[in-house]
Structure 1
Amino acid sequence: MTAGPWRRARLTDRFPETATACTLVLSAPGWPGHLAGQHVDVRLRDGAGYQAVRSYSLSAPSADGVRISVQPVPGGEVSSYLAHVLPVGAEVELRGPLGGWFVWHPERRDPVLLLAGGSGVAPLMAMLRAREHTLDPPPFRLVYSLRDAAQRWFAADLDRLSAQDDRVDITYVYTRTVPAGHPRPAGRLTTADIDTPRWQAGDRPLCFVCGPTAFVEHAANLLVKAGHDASRIRTERFG
């Protein structure tokens, strides 16, 4: 899939996801649309010749517009600028959408198992949101691994989806600090977290795994050891 041309995009809104991370809503005239799971390149330029390009997952489907969710990286000038400095009304450049493998096609009817590590939940959230725009959608399960409850992205949407749709199952795996009343002790993802009734290898879910490289390798290995067909496991990693 070709990257396509650079397009001007204007920041129309920004809202927080955690104390540091946020979602940017962009208006991009001529945007061709995208599939849940795709990403974009974002380019910043100034009049002195400086330019920087970074890739970000789209955290919403086309029906909800162009949105990227950004976690500032320590020492990362682009992520910090986008998250906290770029003023509403300012322009950036976008190229994309990019990626054709790590995508969910809404016409598919396979059950979908999503495994997210930290900010890797962004493209998986796009899939959950795309599901809402689909007639008679398949069941989805999200297993979301994060350090503590304060790091939870898309909290309002995840709570709403979990409460209103009994075919959406959302499980949290806290690796450092567990909120009061949570049934699972702190610790990294295990086979017991993913190999549950209705989501086992014999149920043949389409699996999407996204997060830091170490998380993705660990989660994908758990799936394979649990008997899932490797051809039905799709991964996206960063860092």
Structure 2
Amino acid sequence: MTETATGAVAKTPARPAFTPPTRFAVPGRIAVSNRTASRWQTATLTEIRRETPHAATFRFAVPAWAGHLPGQHLMLRLTAGDGYTAQRHYSIASAPGDDGHLELTLDHVEGGEVSGWFHTVAQPGDRVEVRGPLSGFFAWPGDRPALLIGAGSGVVPLMSMVRHHRARGLEVPLRLLVSARSPEELIYAREYGAETTPVFTRSAPQGVPVGRLTAGHLRPVFDERPEGGWEAYVCGSDAFAEHASRLLVAAGQPVDRIRIERFG
């Protein structure tokens, strides 16, 4: 996790979900390779894209990256000239691919030494170290209907799922509810399509209600619930995760089919 214009998708035959080499299985979840995840690799920053006034996407070249599943995260390590190191867990924003690149989207956290370095010092060509992918608990392999609910930078691992869904031309149903304070703070705003419902808590475009995520936002999604139901993924702050989870349970979502990733 963090420190703290889309067009129609081409209707191509669904391909099997991308699966990296696996060795260790998390019961009931996605298999994860301990061997791959334990090795530090050099990642070279190649591009910086501004998403909102406080968030940016950082693209890295990692030639030996073994791949990941949407929803997984990695460990990132910075090392200063005097040998001091700082490590943080970050969700992977990019869809799985075989081009040796991955992306992270970072909020500029006040007082955050790692996010602060990225937002004020980092330039293309800089090198960091990464280790992963980590955790299969929050991963979505693309083989089941997915209901994604995120707030703020909690949308980052969910966007990896949306991008995977589009890149693979998957037919399995996917819906995203994303909460932000305002349209200006909506991360990835240019990429959202018909699968996404934005919720604004402080200010919104004219005619759009302002307020927290409610049962009313979930109702249309559950009215069109696919056969077999949804697998729900919730990501955000502790307070948001608790609020969204209660709404899901009240709407009839089985507790054992709600996966939560949160940050304090």
Identity of aligned residues (%): 41
5 Å-filtered alignment, 1:172-191, equals: 172-182=198-208, 185-191=209-215
Q: Is 1:85 aligned to 2:121, yes or no? A: yes
Describe the superposition over 1:56-107 as per-residue Cα deviations: whole angstroms up to 9, x where unpaired: 110011227310000011111210111231111010000101110101112x
- SS at structure 2 position matched to 1:235: strand
Q: Which amino acid aligns with 1:189?
A: L
Take 1:208 and 1:140, find their aligned partners in 2: how far apart are those partners? 11
Letter in 2 for 1:8: T
Question: Does residue 152 of structure 2 align to residue 118 of structure 1?
Answer: yes
Pair 1:236 & 2:261 matched: yes
1:201–1:229 CA contact under 8 A, matched in 2? no
* Correspondence for 1:195: 219
Which amino acid in the other structure matches residue 118 of structure 1?
G
Q: What is the distance in 1 between the residues matched to 2:173 and 2:84?
A: 46
Which residue matches 1:140? 174
Deviation at 1:229, TM superposition (A): 0.8
Q: Is 1:13 the counterpart of 2:13 in the alignment?
A: no
Higher relative contact order (CA 8 A, sep 6+): 2
Deviations 1:118-154 (A, max 9, x none): 1100000000000012244212111111111110111
The residue identity in structure 1 corresponding to 2:161 is: M
Match of 1:165 in 2: none
**Which AA in structure 2 matches 1:176?**
R
Aligned residue type for 1:238: F
Could you tell me how far 1:39 is from its partner in structure 2?
0.5
In the TM superposition, residue 231 of structure 1 has moved relative to its aligned partner by 1.4
Q: Work out which of the residue numbers 73, 83, 86 in structure 2 matches 1:39.
A: 73
Tell me which moved more, 191-200 or 96-105: 191-200
Q: Report if aligned partners of 1:14, 1:24 keep a CA contact under 8 Å in 2.
A: yes
Decide whether aligned partners of structure 1 residues 89 and 138 sit closer, same or farther in structure 2, where only a CA change above 3 A counts.
Answer: same
Greater CA deviation, 149-158 or 77-86?
Answer: 77-86
The equivalent position to 1:99 in structure 2, one of 131, 135, 144, is 135
Asked if 1:170 corresponds to 2:196, the answer is yes
Tell me if structure 2 keeps the 8 A contact 1:200–1:228. Answer: no
Give the Cα–Cα distance (whole angstroms) in 2 for the partners of residues 199 and 173 of structure 1. Answer: 19
Q: What is the aligned partner in structure 2 of residue 59 from structure 1?
A: 93
Give, as a single letter, the amino acid of the residue that structure 1 aligns with 2:178: Y
| Residues 151 and 235 of structure 1: CA distance in aligned 2, closer, same or farther (over 3 Å) | same
Q: Could you tell me how far apart the structure 2 residues matched to 1:5 and 1:169 are?
A: 36
Hey, what does 1:207 align to over in structure 2? 232
Alignment check: 8 A CA contact 2:173 2:226 kept? no
SS at match of 1:119: helix
**1:83/1:223 Cα in 2 relative to 1: closer, same or farther (>3 Å)?**
same
Give 2:262's aligned amino acid.
Answer: R
- Give the structure-2-normalised TM-score: 0.82
Question: Which amino acid counterpart does residue 192 of structure 1 have in structure 2?
Answer: G
**Corresponding residue for 1:25?**
59
Indicate the SS of the match to 2:52: coil
How big is the shift at 1:199? 4.4
TM-score (norm 1): 0.90
- Unaligned regions of 5+ residues in structure 2, if any? 1-31
How many residues are matched? 227
Q: Secondary structure at the match of 2:60?
A: strand
Q: For the Cα contact (< 8 Å) 1:13–1:24, is it kept in 2? A: yes
Structure 1: segments with no counterpart, 5+ residues: 163-167
Q: 1:187 to 1:44 in 2, by over 3 A?
A: same
User: 1:92 & 1:199 partners in 2: Cα distance?
Assistant: 44
